[in-house]
Chain A
Amino acid sequence: MKIRSQALAGIAIAAVAALGLSACGSSPSSSGSAGATGGPTDTITVYNAQHQELTQAWVDAFTKQTGIKVNMRNGDDTEMAQQIVQEGRNSPADVFLTENSPAMSAVENAGLLGSPGSEALANVPQAYRPSTGKWVGIAARSTVLAYNKTKVKAADLPKSIMDLADSSWKGRWGGAPAGADFQAIVSAMLQLKGESATLDWLKAMKTNAKTYQSNSTAMKAVNAGEIDAAIIYHYYWFGDQANTGENSKNVGLYYFKNQDPGAFVSVSGGGVLASSKHQTAAQKFLAFVTSADGQKILQTGSSFEYPVGSGVAANPKLTPLQELQAPAVDPAKLNSQQVTDLMTQAGLL
């Protein structure tokens, strides 16, 4: 009797294993019979490289408004862009959202972007979308030098981001070179200053800078006085201030302005994949994100990124975009591949 029940248990284990293996073979693909119409039974898949909380807020409001459900896959800019490129026409993604434009350009250059839809294009002014019209800006962020107010006098702040290559900054500054945020800033430098100046700057960074996992850890290090300054984006500081402020209380923000590469404003992009079987629903999503309702989430939410569409103003705490004196950079021409090659060459990656 005992043997029998044990035998059953053994067989059950083997059977469940076999079942489990065969049952989980297929990945969840977006389904919906009304795919072409973008009706409320639709489901779209968003490859999201933007901050999870922000996209989640957009998704929740969008689903509430339209009934269209959204699957999110989260990752980093470049990783997801490359993933879409390798998936090619088989990509399960309907919409791609980035934090910075180089990743979006990579997908566009692979010929995989369809149209973001006329409504989204109408919502976003020319300055925040590429001339090709293949994707639209959904938000923007400004480069800043976050510095420790107790250790650095305002007079000693560098005139240009290029000055961080000086030996006087050795061991004093940091950044997160493995992140797409920092790589976008380098791609702007590449476009403005050319390859050899950029490579020299990166080599100096290898010598001078401490590297961090993310913008937030770099800011924390500035706050703790481990380094005097870090190149990050503006909204990390505002987000922390709105929270507890414990990682930014000693930190001041310095804007380079003056059309300096360090005054680069990075555009976050949204695009619809040409291979998407849910074009209508996907375009509806971008139309919502760039609409007044979608952009107000940036104005009032906890992301502190700049709105770029439907004339929505930024959160009043931020320095207005118009005062940042950002350099004129064509987002369609930012080259992420060349940047990672140069960084690999400089030994940062």
Chain B
Amino acid sequence: MLVLSILIGALSLVPLGFVVAMTIATGWDTAIALIVRPRVLELLGNTVWLVVITVPLCLVIGVGGAWLVERTRLRAHRVWAVLLAAPLAIPAFVNAYSWVSVVPSMAGLGWGVFIATLSYYPLVYIPAAATLARLDPALEQSAASLGLGPWKVFFRVVLPQLRIAVAGGALLVGLHLLSEYGAFAMMRFDTFTTAIMEQYRSTFNGSAGNMLASVLVALCLVMLVIEARARGNARYAKLGSGSQAAPTRARLGAWELPAQLGLLGLAIVALGVPLAVIGRWLLEGGAKIWETADLASALGQSLWLGLLGALAATAAAFPLSWLAVRYAGWLSKSLELANYITSSMPGIVLALAFVTVALRAIPDIYQSTLLLVIAYVLLFLPRALVSLRAGLAQAPKELEEAARALGRRPAAAFFRVTLPLAAPAAAGGAALVFLAVLNELTATLLLAPTGTSTLATQFWNLSSGIDYTDAAPYALLMILLSAPMTYLLFQQSKKAAGQ
């Protein structure tokens, strides 16, 4: 177990090591010349503005929507609760495709922010809604009895309690913004990730692309630090026993209509438009766009890679989470941190690192399914880890100890007693990894074995060749496959907030 954990930790350090090694190999003067140039400044401006505008927008929409749904007497709030989370089932590049195919002039920062906000606000909304539903109303009632008005209660009592959930959601949004390729490339908005991809197309793994990657990695690290600061370390747990009252819901009164209209508008642009456009292309294409063998094979390969990725990530998560639950300490913390940092890296950086390392060190695994699956594991391990750790933490240690007292070896006791208890949690984590693999584009483009085409890569090829009708079935399949996983995530976050 320990050896496995250390191995995974070491693997996690490959991309970071690559960026550092490449910067050294490039040589100081060249590196500076490639990093300090107008183009990088331009990309930095685009990327920073994108983050600085999109993240607050997602926070306002996510928290505002969550509050309306969970804490007000909004009509049909159960329907809205699901509708607000649903856009997460539409991958950002599918969303961009649907808008761009109707408004071809979409380009630049404004549209980039628009699409990114629509695609990513659920990452804030889902944890915020789950937390709001679980807050103890007693605190708010005390605040109100001490003379605070409803607005002050919200900002001084409710919002601070959302801090962890919202900071986590905001970080996810930020990291997605840094690593998104397809959506921004489609609308001619240049970020570091799209520029690295262009350098890769033009020079394979030339030093200019590698230097862009090192700047991007630095941006990721800055973001992780900001989030750790924003999370703070205050305690939010209730002391003592006592059951929690149901939260009170505020009356909306005259605000009911604007609230309903606002939510309706959001649902139309985030959900209605993409679905309507895809429907239009499907109708226009008719039956013949479904009759290609490519579609079936891409679906098969997507499912296969998703399954492999999910199983491998879950298998890799076992030793790490077991270590974290049973032997919490500096080692497990640092291993986890190593992977956490790596998984925050954009897929393109990880893929570049793997291409270079594999070609120079282990040519045999270059372009093998194994390498691609390892990349998926490193990218998506946290999804499996978080679920599994919660599952393992809830499996009483005493049961395992009883098994050992009855003569089982430690490993056997773990496999026979603890593992089965954690199985449902593992399945949840595996499903989330599966979803992530399904919509992964950049690492798959760079690392997949010859002849591989997944739903995501096929969709990308067709839509970038402006073959909108032929791309539509792929878009639809990705959404249909994502929908149940999104629902699962929605349910899971409700459970997680209760712990």
Contact = CB atoms under 8 A, between A and B. Distances in A.
- Of B42, B204, B311, B363, chain A has the most CB atoms within 10 Å of the CB of B204
Interface in B78-115: 104-105, 107
Interface in A1-38: 3, 6-7, 9-11, 13-14, 16-18, 20-21, 24-28
B186 A220 contact: no
Nearest to B416: A7
Contacts, number: 155
Interface stretch (A138-146, A192-200, A209-217, A254-262): A209-217
Given A10-B420, A217-B464, A217-B466, A24 B195 contact: no
A82 B104 contact: no
Contacts of B63: none
A131 interface: no
B188 A210 contact: yes
A210 B200 CA distance: 20
Contacts of A250: none
B208 A349 contact: yes
Say what secondary structure dominates the interface of chain B. Answer: helix
B259 to A, nearest CB: 37
A337 B208 CA distance: 12
A247 B100 CA distance: 14
18 contacts: A7-B419, A14-B318, A24-B373, A26-B370, A52-B461, A73-B451, A79-B201, A86-B205, A87-B363, A92-B450, A180-B202, A211-B188, A213-B188, A214-B466, A217-B466, A220-B104, A226-B105, A344-B199
Contacts of B363: 87, 90
Contacts of B416: 3, 7
A76 B198 CA distance: 11
A16 to B, nearest CB: 6
B203 A340 contact: yes
A13 B423 contact: yes
A72 B39 contact: no
Contact of B201 (A27, A28, A179): A179
B369 interface: yes
Nearest to B367: A27
B466 A216 contact: yes
Contact of A20 (B37, B308, B421): B308
B315 A17 contact: yes
Interface in B22-51: 34, 37-39, 42
A87 B34 CA distance: 26
A179 B57 CA distance: 34
Interface string A71-94: 111101011011101110010100
Contact of B373 (A21, A78, A79): A21
Contacts of A13: 311, 314-315, 423, 426
Given A6-B423, A9-B423, A220-B104, A25 B370 contact: yes
Contacts of A349: 39, 195, 198-199, 202, 208
A81 B204 CA distance: 8
A76 B199 CA distance: 12
Contact of A76 (B201, B208, B419): B201
B451 A71 contact: yes
Given A78-B201, A349-B208, A224 B105 contact: yes
Interface of A: 3, 6-7, 9-11, 13-14, 16-18, 20-21, 24-28, 45, 52, 71-74, 76, 78-79, 81-83, 85-87, 90, 92, 178-180, 183, 210-214, 216-217, 220-221, 224, 226, 247, 337, 340, 343-344, 347-349
Interface of B: 34, 37-39, 42, 104-105, 107, 185-186, 188, 195, 198-206, 208, 307-308, 311-312, 314-315, 318, 359, 363-370, 373, 415-417, 419-423, 426, 449-451, 461, 464-466
Nearest to B422: A10
A9 B366 contact: no
A17 B312 contact: yes
A198 B451 CA distance: 38
Contact of A82 (B204, B308, B311): B204
Contacts of A71: 450-451
Given A20-B311, A28-B450, A221 B104 contact: yes
A87 to B, nearest CB: 7
Nearest to B423: A10
Nearest to A76: B201
A344 B208 contact: yes
A246 to B, nearest CB: 10
A183 B366 CA distance: 28
- Of B34, B201, B373, B423, chain A has the most CB atoms within 10 Å of the CB of B201
Nearest to B207: A344
A334 B366 CA distance: 30
A71 B449 CA distance: 11
A90 B308 CA distance: 27
Contacts of B38: 347
